[in-house]
Structure 1
Amino acid sequence: MLTLEGLSKNFGGLPALQEVSFRLRGGDITALIGPNGAGKSTLINCITGVLAPSAGRVDFLGRDLTGLPAHEVTRSGIARTFQNLRIFPRLSVLDNVLCGLTLEAGRSFFSAMLRLPPLRHRERRLRLRALEALDRFSLADKAAWPAGILAYGDRKRLEMARAFVGEPQLVLLDEPVAGLNAAETAAVGREIVRLKSEGHTLLLVEHDMDLVMSIADQVVVLDSGRCIARGTPAEVQRNPLVLEAYLGRMEPTA
């Protein structure tokens, strides 16, 4: 579904990514792991158009997305969440999810001013889809709440609801369980597995190794901007480069 070929990103003279290449299979959960500063979020940003790569290619379903702006990447069928929450605290929970349907809301200023029937029908349809997304993530009862008063775990689920509301073909989850307790982490893990069972393809950036090794079909390991290993969770756990660069250092605190 997604192919990265020699993807590199430099900030000035500092290489953050160095010729990263791997493929994502449709219907899989692929975990992207690595120490802090390994380049994981930079890679996500290059895929989704937040950053333009310095070199290499991003191919999604046969289409070259390299260097396209974020809204064009979204239009192609890719959605994401963020490592640092990007919600609108003063908007309602429902309106936050509706923001994930912006590309389907129409572009006619004339229609919006006159409130023509087709526009009203579209708005009702999008509102229903947003409510269905909230129900999927157990937030429907909080649809009218200001997003800023949600508990941290609910904010994480709100970002996931906004990412999935547009029915994307690929979703990139950037540390979805960071800051959650064990029970909340287990709940998010079950939701991710359920989303896979519904046919979604997911790229998961995460530091929680227990979660990664229990739900991922494939694991890709970055270290210092380079891809040092990829394979099944069992294969990655046995890889000496991974043990030295990442898992070995994480064992005392995992």
Structure 2
Amino acid sequence: MTFRIGVVTFPGSLDERDAQRAIRLAGAEAVELWHGEHDLKGVDAIVLPGGFSYGDYLRAGAIAAVSPIMSEVIDAAGTGMPVLGICNGFQMLVEAHLLPGGLIRNAHQQFIRRDQGLRVENADTAWTNEFATGDEIIIPLKNGDGGYIADAETLKRVEGEGRVAFRYTGLNPNGSLNDIAGLTNERGNVVGLMPHPEHAVEAGFGPDTEVAMRSGVDGLRFFTSALRALAAV
């Protein structure tokens, strides 16, 4: 059975084509979805891609979070459908209250682009089940509004409930509290993170590793994890 994973395009999206390619490399069918429609086209999972939706006006992800299709995404997430938010997509997920907290301007006030070390903190989600907790991976990062924030009570809750999916290693690139790079919801079907796994899916085009330049393919396991989760249902 070939699973179908939808990728939503918003005005200002940049990485939807990369996400579609990652989905195909993982062995699924990539389905184009449009922000202004209410039709999810019968997909089995959804990716909200990176970019600068609506020019990041108001707040990054804030306008996209109330786009017509997001009402369908929210409903689908409520039924257990896997939903992945990457960078701007992560911002949409917190603005839509599918994940707690918020994302603000990087602490150093500069856009950052680098290959970033991450530690997998939760390997029991729909998008991380092909990792092991404690795995250290390298995923490209590029953002200007990636600083994760939350009040003390929320921060205590996400830490205590094991809802931190990824943590930055080596350095904290944007001032995120507790080095948080990604989160999951309580059910484990919704995951958001600032780094871009779709840019680490094909040898020769990924981040540098100790093995060779541009050899990193850690991002591919995000998408094969989703297929594994869908197959298990």
Bigger RCO of structures 1 and 2 (CA < 8 A, at least 6 apart): 1
The structure where helix makes up a greater share of residues is: 1
Higher Cα Rg: structure 1 or 2?
Answer: 1
TM-score, normalization: structure 1? 0.30
